[in-house]
Amino acid sequence: MKNEEIAKIFYDIALFLQMKDENVFKIRAYERTGQTIESLPTDIELLYKKGGIDALQELPGIGRAIAEKIEELLKTGKLQTFERLKKEIPVDIDGLRRVEGIGPRKILFLYKKLGIKSVAELEKAAKQGKISRLSGFGAKSQENILKGIEFLKKTKGRYLLGHIMPLATDIENRLKQLPFVRKAVISGSFRRRKETVGDIDILAISDKPEKVMDFFVSMPEVINVYGKGKTKTMVLLNNGIGADLRVVPEKSYAAALNYFTGSKDHNIALRRIAIHKRMKLSEYGLFKKGKNISGIDEKSLYGALGLKYIEPELRENAGEIEAAMQDKLPILIEYKSLKGDLQIQTNWTDGSNSIEEMAIAAKNYGLEYIAITDHTKTLAMINGLNEKKIAKQGKEIDILNKKLKGIKILKGAEVNILKNGKLDTKDSCLKELDIVGIAVHASFNQTKQEMTKRIITAMENEHVDILFHPTCRLIGKRPAIQLDIEKIIDIAKSTGTILEINSMPDRLDLKDEHIRMAVKAGVRLVIDTDAHSGYHFPFLELGIAQARRGWAEKKDIINAWPLKTMMKMIKI
DNA sequence: GCCGTTTTCGGCCCGACTGTTTTCAGTCG
């Protein structure tokens, strides 16, 4: 069994225990186990094989009882305790929990009172007005449930880029390594690095298309083959996403790649230019008087159309073609070019790793500096830090900075913005920090006017450097807060506040159009991971993709610069 | 359920906010 499968089981047990109103510390013990296993650098199965149950008990937060449960899972593939709980409360926890405002206690209550087991049943009951009649619920709760379900439906069928990227890239690499495949590249919205993708479109060049297709359908992840031909094969992968493979001859490569990368609007605009120049553009090539003049790659294809090469992330027909005509395309911030990360949580609050472990992971990833920005005191549930603890953490950071070479740790915090715009941490404490980030964590439903005023009030604090995940959206889970983003950008400009591009796969916040607005206004940005584990640093690439889709250049991104330069770019 | 120079039991953690209560339960991350 994989670490993440085992971790998921412990997280699920924690949820069941929450339903049953178990002792909160017992619940936390199970949650902590999930977190520990999830962020383990080695295979837990291997650990167990080497050191047995004793090795499991060596792990932090894992004692006799839980170690025995892990052993049972590794030996039998099942856990009796878990199976019993599932049988006792047979509900779709994952689905129901995704409805905003629905947690474990309500799931159990709804199951007991109305027998609700799934989101579909919940929706039906809400529509029939059954929810509002329950004690503890009311008209507003019922309305919020329906709103939450509506929101879920809208995002159904799309997958987070960050979640499918590892598998998609792996398949791409497997195809590339085949001796009879000359080129293989994922196209579609994946190549444009959209936040979510509907399916994986792969383009390959080969003289032996049948062999490529045979390989493709026999991959272990394939659970269904929708269709298989010489040029196109469509399959369903075991994680629920569809994958299409197209094999084209080399001479069509440039045009095919361009066509399958999209976007549709971008392609239509390109075809119009071709027609204007008495050419014809299709997925087979760019033809002038019947002759394919597309060349060997997309650069030559764009060139033949009289355009500078347009990066995939810009291909939305949102001004990029005009810019390419006038040679005014941005020089986009490059992948792997970040020097630091200014939002990181540690095990002082809800992160999995210590400050030192995070610093070493960051260094190994190639960063030169990081800011530790644990949550502040009003997020009590996750042990948010008060002024005293922040000062104490600062001392630990001083010691680590002396000890560690090649990575500089900055002192920071993710300060909670209260409902009225006040910060929950004293100025005298913030003054001592290198990086003060602020963020909204509650009262997401304020009106646009209230919310904008709230955030502006917070931004106007002289110690504040960065507004973290400005719109607070969780893709597919929670809509963005109501915010006058233009006004926020204005205030960012006048106060020198940096706006964040959060790289977490389900956040990606700011989003592309807001980034573009900020860039245009001359407001600086920072690409952070919001890492809660040392494994999260690769998510920075998603943040860079987001920045690129927002037309951001190196000059716009403060952490693309070395520490000294970066510090000059923030408020003093 | 875990942990231990406070060491085998008692602490771990203790706030804001909503929507529903008429004094509080549940969610948030």
Same-domain check for residues A477 and A542: yes
Q: How far is CA A534 from the centre of its chain?
A: 15
Res. A37 pLDDT band, cuts 50 70 90: confident
A31 CA to B10 C1' in angstroms comes to 21
Same-domain check for residues A174 and A299: no
Average pLDDT value for residue range A457-477: 92
Same-domain check for residues A234 and A378: no
Average pLDDT value for residue range A507-532: 95
A3 CA to B5 C1' in angstroms comes to 35
Q: What is the pLDDT of residues A336-386, one digit of tens each?
A: 999 999 999 998 988 888 899 999 999 999 999 999 999 999 887 778 899
- Give the domain CATH number at A281: 3.30.210.10
What is the residue range of A284's domain?
A: 252-325
Nearest to A543 by CA among A514, A572, A482, A500: A500
- CA A152 vs CA A56, A346, A483: distances in Å: 38, 31, 21
Give the pLDDT confidence score for residue A158 in this predicted structure.
Answer: 78
Q: Which residue has the higher pLDDT, A92 or A158?
A: A92
Nearest to A427 by CA among A438, A443, A442: A438
Q: What is the pLDDT of residues A536-554, one digit of tens each?
A: 999 999 999 999 999 999 9
Closest nucleotide to A141's CA, by C1' atom? B19
Of A51-55, A156-160, A511-515, least confident by mean pLDDT is A156-160
A108 CA to B22 C1' in angstroms comes to 25
Average pLDDT value for residue range A168-186: 94
DSSP string, A301-365: HHHHTT-----GGGTTTSSHHHHHHTT----BPPTT---EEEEE--TTTT-SS-HHHHHHHHHHH
Whether the per-residue pLDDT at A131 is higher than 70: the answer is yes
A380 CA to B13 C1' in angstroms comes to 8
Same-domain check for residues A112 and A169: no
Is A296 contained in some domain? yes
Give the pLDDT confidence score for residue A397 in this predicted structure.
Answer: 95
Same-domain check for residues A262 and A224: no
- CA A176 vs CA A170, A180, A184, A220, A228: distances in Å: 10, 9, 5, 17, 20
Closest nucleotide to A108's CA, by C1' atom? B26
Closest nucleotide to A26's CA, by C1' atom? B1
Closest nucleotide to A97's CA, by C1' atom? B27
Q: Which residue has the higher pLDDT, A200 or A2?
A: A200
Average pLDDT value for residue range A112-132: 91
Closest nucleotide to A22's CA, by C1' atom? B1
Give the pLDDT confidence score for residue A97 in this predicted structure.
Answer: 86
Question: Rounded to the nearest 5 degrees, what angle is found at the Cα of A189, between the Cα atoms of A478 and A243?
Answer: 100
Res. A155 pLDDT band, cuts 50 70 90: low
Tokens at A288, concatenated? 């002038």
Is A305 contained in some domain? yes
Closest nucleotide to A384's CA, by C1' atom? B15
A91 CA to B6 C1' in angstroms comes to 43
Domain boundary among A99, A134, A169: A134
Residue A117: CA atoms inside 13 Å, Cβ hemisphere, count?
Answer: 7
Same-domain check for residues A452 and A370: yes
Same-domain check for residues A210 and A261: no
**Nearest amino-acid residue to B17, taking CA and C1':** A443
Give the pLDDT confidence score for residue A28 in this predicted structure.
Answer: 84
Same-domain check for residues A211 and A259: no
Same-domain check for residues A522 and A408: yes
Is A149 contained in some domain? no
Q: What is the pLDDT of residues A43-69, one digit of tens each?
A: 899 999 999 999 999 888 899 999 999
Domain boundary among A325, A349, A382: A325
Question: First-to-last CA distance in chain A?
Answer: 50
Q: Are A370 and A344 in contact (CB under 8 A)?
A: yes
Q: Which residue has the higher pLDDT, A226 or A392?
A: A392
Rounded CA-CA distance A528/A532 in Å is 12
Same-domain check for residues A497 and A356: yes
Residues 6+ apart with CB under 8 A from A536: A504, A529, A530
Give the pLDDT confidence score for residue A212 in this predicted structure.
Answer: 93
A509 CA to B19 C1' in angstroms comes to 29
A12 CA to B8 C1' in angstroms comes to 30
Q: What are phi and psi of A568, to 5 degrees?
A: -75, -20
Same-domain check for residues A526 and A566: yes
Average pLDDT value for residue range A5-11: 90
Closest nucleotide to A17's CA, by C1' atom? B1
- Label the pairing between strands A232-237 and A285-288: unpaired
A280 CA to B17 C1' in angstroms comes to 60
Give the pLDDT confidence score for residue A199 in this predicted structure.
Answer: 86
A393 CA to B6 C1' in angstroms comes to 23
**Nearest amino-acid residue to B18, taking CA and C1':** A443
Q: Name the domain count of chain A.
A: 4
Rounded CA-CA distance A386/A132 in Å is 39
Nucleotides of chain B in contact with protein CB (under 7 A) are 1-3, 11-21, 25-29
A426 CA to B12 C1' in angstroms comes to 27
Closest nucleotide to A138's CA, by C1' atom? B20
Is A152 contained in some domain? no
Rounded CA-CA distance A105/A9 in Å is 18
Nearest to A527 by CA among A512, A544, A551: A544
Rounded CA-CA distance A546/A539 in Å is 11
Tell me whether residue A173 is exposed, middle or buried, using C-beta atoms within 10 angstroms of its C-beta: 0 to 12, 13 to 18, 19 or more: exposed
Q: What is the pLDDT of residues A202-212, one digit of tens each?
A: 999 998 889 99
Whether the per-residue pLDDT at A572 is higher than 70: the answer is no
Same-domain check for residues A413 and A274: no
Domain boundary among A134, A150, A185: A134
Tell me whether residue A74 is exposed, middle or buried, using C-beta atoms within 10 angstroms of its C-beta: 0 to 12, 13 to 18, 19 or more: middle
Give the pLDDT confidence score for residue A157 in this predicted structure.
Answer: 62
Rounded CA-CA distance A347/A355 in Å is 8
- Give the domain CATH number at A471: 3.20.20.140
**Nearest amino-acid residue to B20, taking CA and C1':** A136
A207 CA to B7 C1' in angstroms comes to 72
* Residue A480: DSSP 8-state: P
Q: Where are the beta strands (DSSP E) in A255-319?
A: 280-282, 285-288, 291-292
Closest nucleotide to A102's CA, by C1' atom? B27
A298 CA to B14 C1' in angstroms comes to 60
pLDDT above 70: percentage of residues in chain A: 99
Is A335 contained in some domain? no
Q: What is the pLDDT of residues A80-91, one digit of tens each?
A: 999 999 999 999
Give the pLDDT confidence score for residue A350 in this predicted structure.
Answer: 84
- Give the domain CATH number at A192: 3.30.460.10
Q: Which residue has the higher pLDDT, A38 or A480?
A: A480
Is A377 contained in some domain? yes
Is A63 contained in some domain? yes
CB atoms within 10 A of CB A533: 20
**Nearest amino-acid residue to B25, taking CA and C1':** A136
Q: What is the mean pLDDT of chain A?
A: 91
Whether the per-residue pLDDT at A156 is higher than 70: the answer is no
Is A12 contained in some domain? yes
**Nearest amino-acid residue to B1, taking CA and C1':** A26
